[in-house]
Amino acid sequence: MDSIVVQGGGPLNGQIPIAGAKNACLTLMPATLLSEEPLTLTNAPRLSDIKTMTELLQSLGAEITSMQEGQVQAMSCHGTINTRAEYDIVRKMRASNLVLGPLLAREGVAEVSLPGGCAIGARPMDIHTDGLTLMGADIELRDGYLHAKAAGGRLKGAVIDFPFASVGATENIMMAATLAKGTTVINNAAREPEIVDLADCLRKMGAQIEGDGTSSITIQGVDRLNGATHPVVTDRIELGTYMLAPAICGGEVELLGGKLSLVGAFCEKLDAAGIDVTETDKGLMVKRRADDIKAVDVTTEPFPGFPTDLQAQMMALLCTANGTSVLEEKIFENRFMHAPELIRMGAEIDVSGGTATVTGVKKLKGAPVMATDLRASVSLILAGLAAEGETKVSRVYHLDRGYEHVVRKLEGVGAKIERVKD
């Protein structure tokens, strides 16, 4: 098992290229199940989760060729489709549940194991299955699998009112609705950039979709979809993560491919903390305005609010802020597991339910720490960059699910960081 060793100290300067969005790519890939024609994704991130989704789709009958060191995924699903998504693959990644809607839409039947992923909350499938049931699917849970069948072999349009703006459920229903008979309306839909990216791709494939990016999405079902080529949108979470590197360490870093529209609420908090973010011809430039970071309060919200996937990284910044910050987690329960590890580095953090109170300290101290999930792992690396001495982050296999070439990218701007075998 690998660890990442970080030597804290100096400022960071230079450029970091930002990859395509993991969460967008994992949503776009199952769309290949909706058509017998090829779907090609460019700007794909090179991550273990992408490999897992590839394995899952291949098990269902898709042909997938990875090109240009993984940045291009050429997919085709023209043959016989296997409609059972096995536990041994699905358990590795929660996004595996996104094959449920496309399988039902194309074949009228699906058997999908309940998914796995980071242990940061229940994230139940009920909102997915309730929406598909309204579209005419009969779904029951047996032996850990969702067994689904569309009445008459084809889903039908419906008006679906989500109890909350679930990203995954919005994506699943959108894909299912593209081939359903009639019109589907999703109310209280998620508004994330990944939703818009999926809609853009589906429209290229011939889907009729309106309202993406708003809370109400309308899909008029069609009889078939064609192939397409589509670039994956920039990863706003990787972008925000690397924006925090110069904010924590000092220096000036340009994030290539970054756009303010992807990280608006996040940039507002950085500005309040004393961090300048400016647009350039190539992306976003980030630097501190002063030596001290100001304390700010953060509440995670669905897009366009502050992303839950940047909460752990923001906490690392606020550990050395001047004053006391309050972080309120409203998306996922149990998402402060990084706090005890930051405390090992000298942070002053008090967690009570869904709220963490962070009192800034003058300096963090290097220590051996353990990653508990994907975003927590990178928050500990960021903290290590600013700490005195050496920080060793273990269980970094989490990191490989969401960040490509972390060591290479941070080394490129002057970080003292290496990956080692335990």
Binding residues for UDP-N-acetyl-alpha-D-glucosamine: 94, 309, 331
The strand pair at 72-76 and 39-42 is best described as antiparallel
Annotated binding residues, written as ranges, equal: 22-23, 94, 309, 331
- The residues near 418 (Cβ < 8 Å, ≥ 6 apart) are 4, 5, 407
Chain position carrying tokens 């502050």: 306
Cis amide bond preceding 115, omega within 30 = no
Q: Identify the CA nearest to 21 among candidates 143, 274, 179, 200.
A: 200
Annotated binding residues for phosphoenolpyruvate, written as ranges, equal: 22-23
Q: Which of 25, 77, 118, 201 is catalytic?
A: 118
124 burial type by CB count under 10 A (0-12 exposed, 13-18 middle, 19+ buried) = exposed
3-state SS, one letter per residue, for 54-74: HHHHHHCCCEEEEEHHHCEEE
Q: Integer distance in angstroms from the first to the last C-alpha of the chain?
A: 6
- The residue type found at 217 is I
Q: How many residues does the chain have?
A: 422
The beta strand positions in 89-188, using DSSP E, are 109-113, 137-142, 145-150, 159-161, 183-187
Two structure tokens written together for 31: 């769309």
Chain position carrying tokens 């679906």: 160
Judge whether 118 counts as a catalytic residue.
Answer: yes
> Where in the sequence numbering do the catalytic residues fall?
118
